[in-house]
Amino acid sequence: MSIWEYANPKKFMQTSAWALPWVSGLSVMLLVVGLVWGFFFTPDDYKQGATVKIIYLHVPSAMMAISAWFMMLAGSLIWLIRRHHVSALSAKAAAPVGLTFTVIGLVTGAIWGQPMWGTWWAWDPRLTSFLILGLFYLGYIALWAAVEDADTAADLTSVLCIVGSVFAFLSRYAVLFWNQGLHQGASVSVVQGSDQVSNVYGAPLLVCVTGFVLLFVTLVLLRTRTEIRARRIKALIARERAAA
Amino acid sequence: MRALLIRDIRLAMRAGGGFGLGLAFFLMVAVLVPLGVGPESALLSRIAPGILWVGALLACLLSLDRMFALDFEDGSLDLMAVSPLPLEGVAAMKALAHWLVTGLPLVVISPVLGLLLSLSPAGYVWLVASLALGSPALSLIGAFGAALTVGLKRGGLILSLIVLPMYVPTLVFGAEAVRRGAAGTDALVPLLFLAAISLGCAAILPFACGAAIRANLK
């Protein structure tokens, strides 16, 4: 039993068909619990009032926007090294999801920033690097859409993803150099274990983050299945045409 | 390698190669910006470093799509792929030729444009130095973008969508070096970062270019 068994599209389709209802159900459940808990059963912050509650959308989507890129990077590397189609297709499937999370992160941030910082947008390092991440997503998606041959597209986007990762990382630190920011530091620190967010808000936040992770897994599985089916249809049409 | 370099430079310099287009564009940017924001020299000298760098970046971008496209269409690229010279070398030479024809003239003309934008006197050295150190990275990153999009029908737009985000670190450090230089503060740090980016690009990107061209020729 190795993880590479799931590189077989048939095996992947079987397993994902079984897993999908569970993952999506759990994700919906966690999101409902986390968001309801967060929105209605936590006190208002003494300074920020009710606006603090946008954290339940903002932080998880921002985390997933970055994680999605790492997932694409892993998928691209596996495609380039082992040539498993499922991995390339999952990277393709993750990109629009990641872009959506990036946009959610930016929009919720703007909605929160307007009353808190008094501005919708500031050229803060975190905001700027997030915007740049969104641009990288756009370029990646555009390249997938533009290249006709599927394997060439997978090759090219994989190379782009790897090189893009280096540059996205560089940009992250370049903008840090360029401007000191308004945005607070990391809200959830994994390494130190101690949260910068008070426990009242921290527990529902954790539920929401887990819900978002599962939501991401659900969407990527779903989209990968769609891609595999689309690929099969294309193959069938090609076969029929060859026979005729 | 040298033959390829000389061939590319000749092709770019002679009629139809579009030599000077980038320069003209750079000049246009430097003329249009004061027309857009008004002629006050205090304001102009404040934004001059950024405008000059953005202008240089866009001027570089203009000529990128021709880097591999012409050779791809007439089949020369296939011949280069089967020649003893590895594709990585081809990509490096193409980027070098692009830099010599586009980047270097930008570096040379930049002080004149700095004058137009009333850059403060202390900034000129840093402007030339930062462009000289940073523009090789622009050509190399551009070569990578061009290699990715060489097989596409309408590659130009996607090329800029891919390349421009990757220009961000170069732009940030380049403009910052000029800004600091013009303000009289220590500009060496961003300049060193800029040099590091160019060297890193020169070390890594030809391989990525080679991989991309190989995927496109398959």
| Chain A residue with minimum CA distance to B155 | A146
Average of pLDDT values for B93-107? 91
Average of pLDDT values for B86-98? 91
Q: Which residue has the tokens 């990277």?
A: A91
Higher pLDDT, B20 or A193: B20
Lowest mean pLDDT among A68-72, A231-235, B149-153, B208-212: B149-153
Is A105 strand, coil or helix? helix
**CB pair distance less than 8 Å for B211 and A132:** no
- Count Cβ atoms below 10 Å from residue B115 Cβ, excluding itself: 12
What is the predicted ipTM? 0.87
Inform me whether the C-beta atom of residue A142 falls under 8 Å from chain B C-beta atoms. yes
Q: Per-residue pLDDT for A190 more than 70?
A: no
Give the range of the structural domain holding residue B183, as residue numbers without chain letter.
2-217
pTM: 0.88
**CB pair distance less than 8 Å for A142 and B190:** no
**CB pair distance less than 8 Å for A159 and B193:** no
- Residue A45 β-bridge partners: A49
CA distance B80 to B192: 35
Q: Per-residue pLDDT for A193 more than 50?
A: no
What share of chain A in percent tops pLDDT 70? 89
Inform me whether the C-beta atom of residue A195 falls under 8 Å from chain B C-beta atoms. no
Q: How many domains does chain B have?
A: 1
Average of pLDDT values for B49-67? 89
CA distance B169 to B162: 14
Domain boundaries, chain A: 20-243
Q: Which residues of A touch B151 (CB under 8 A)?
A: 147, 152
The DSSP string of A71-88 is HHHHHHHHHHHH--HHHH
Q: How confident is the model at residue A216 (pLDDT cuts 50, 70, 90)?
A: very high
The DSSP string of B9-33 is HHHHHSTTS-TTHHHHHHHHHHHHH
Q: Are A169 and A176 in contact (CB under 8 A)?
A: no
Average of pLDDT values for B148-170? 88
Ramachandran sector of residue A31 (left: φ over 0; alpha: ψ -120 to 50; beta: rest): alpha
CA distance A155 to A143: 11
Average pLDDT of chain B is: 88
**CB pair distance less than 8 Å for A147 and B151:** yes
Q: Are A149 and A128 in contact (CB under 8 A)?
A: no
- A102-135 pLDDT, tens digit each: 999 999 988 888 887 878 888 888 888 899 999 9
